[in-house]
Structure 1
Amino acid sequence: MDLERYSKITNKNKREIVLLKGFPCKWGRCTFCDYIEDNDTHEEEMIKLNNEILKNVTGEFKQLEVINSGSCFELPEATLKEIKEVIQNKAIDTLYFESHWIYKNRLNEIRDFFSPTTVIFKTGIETFDDNFRNNILKKGIKLKTPYEAGDIFDSVCLMFGIEGQTKESIAYDIDCALKSFKRICINIYVENSTKFKRDEELIKWFKENYSYLEENPSVEILWNNTDFGVGGELNE
């Protein structure tokens, strides 16, 4: 698999970012996602690879984002300990992690483990359209209100540009996200090995009407899924 695993985000919210390997995604049913192919079950090999990636971290921005093809709870325990060592040695004060909604009641386990470092939790809601999120994308996230997730997570990931989405749903998603979350990451869909196709007209409309969001310090837009400098093609 030809994946970049370390990079620096220098345009907004400056931070280092690493793409680590974890155990299989516990949810693993999202129909648009093929990054779970990067998961593994060989713990010793994962730990060795993750340690090598973490050696790149310099701490120059005092912020580190750690992602894996699933949730941070699926990283090996030894890798979590290594991350803790790195942030202590490099005086990193802010740590970003991703987690699926199924772990919503366990976030404090990670916060406590890495205390006093501030932990920012991101979650992939993708859309606040319940039907599209659960029946089409199979995210398995049932919200009582569109704002419920913002009471639990600090940052939300949205995904736009998949065939079947509408202008109205995107406008609704942006409105909900801006009202609920301190940080927003908008991913423009890039076709992969799944069945889903890009809606080029919808993406064009979004760009014409919402590019101004790039001026918002709390909003990041990934026009390509490798814009953070990590990831890439999942080769056989």
Structure 2
Amino acid sequence: MGIRYSKIENKNKREIVLLKGLPCKYGKCKFCNYIEDNSTNLEEIDRVNKVTLEEVTGEFGALEIINSGSVFELPESTLERIREVVKKKKIKLIYFEIYYGYKNRLDEIKDFFKGVDIRFRMGMETFDDEFRINSYGKNFKLTKIDLEDLSDKLYSICLLICVKGQTKEMIQNDIELGLKYFKSITINIFINNGTEVERDEELVKWFVDKYAYLQEDLRVELLIDNKDLGVFEQ
């Protein structure tokens, strides 16, 4: 049983929905068991997403859409339904997730939702290329030029921290670079989920002691638990 609608009422007020999507185009992240929520059944996707989107009230004028993949894995019928809800509820701001491979297609979504402020978030996980590729299974490398390009296109990135093999220095560097290049960062403390990636409890203790103050930083969303946003499928 999962929860697909929630409200974020602390720093960055918005409604959030977890929608069903088609299979993640990439689908090779070693830490992800989230793709089990995907479906190839368009009728099921439409049914689930219709019910979920009916809960949106528009009270904050801001809506975050997440799905187990990227916005580009949401069927057109779902995108059209989102557009209807956004118009009806007078929503001015939408957050969407993307994978790195879609970074040159963002205008397609902006054009589809003309007149609405669209903010994209991407799972960077870490700025350490080798760790991202070998430990997380995200197969892309970034030069300084790539980072500058992404900082223009994306509003925020997600960092995945406190896993075995990571160091304190890597985590510190990731937070510094995230705040240097992007307007906002989401920091996810990893929770064991049956994948090959494992949580490092010592790093968790160190991080929470050292960085608890980030809870007050308006640029940072700190997820101590992956259910902290209030939506999840299990």
TM bin (shorter chain): over 0.9
Deviates more, 1:206-215 or 1:142-151: 142-151
1:226–1:232 CA contact under 8 A, matched in 2 = no
Alignment of 1:92-131 (within 5 A): 92-131=91-130
Q: Secondary structure at the match of 2:180?
A: helix
Aligned mates of 1:124, 1:170 — CA distance in 2 = 15
Q: Which runs of at least 4 in structure 1 moved beyond 3 Å after TM superposition?
A: none
TM normalised by structure 1 equals 0.96
* 1:23 aligned residue: 22
Alignment of 1:9-158 (within 5 A): 9-145=8-144, 147-148=147-148, 149-158=150-159
2:135–2:197 CA contact under 8 A, matched in 1 = no
Aligned mates of 1:217, 1:84 — CA distance in 2 = 28
Aligned mates of 1:80, 1:232 — CA distance in 2 = 21
* Unaligned ranges ≥5, structure 1: none
Deviates more, 1:119-128 or 1:148-157: 148-157
* 2:229 aligned residue: 228
Shift of 1:232: 4.2
CA RMSD of aligned residues (A): 1.0
Identity %: 54
* 2:183 aligned residue: 182
Deviates more, 1:139-148 or 1:32-41: 139-148
Aligned mates of 1:160, 1:37 — CA distance in 2 = 22
How many pairs were matched up? 232
Aligned mates of 1:109, 1:211 — CA distance in 2 = 38
Letter in 2 for 1:147: L
Aligned mates of 1:103, 1:30 — CA distance in 2 = 16
1:154–1:181 CA contact under 8 A, matched in 2 = yes
* 2:212 aligned residue: 211
Aligned mates of 1:204, 1:22 — CA distance in 2 = 35
Q: Secondary structure at the match of 1:159?
A: strand
* Unaligned ranges ≥5, structure 2: none
Aligned mates of 1:187, 1:8 — CA distance in 2 = 18
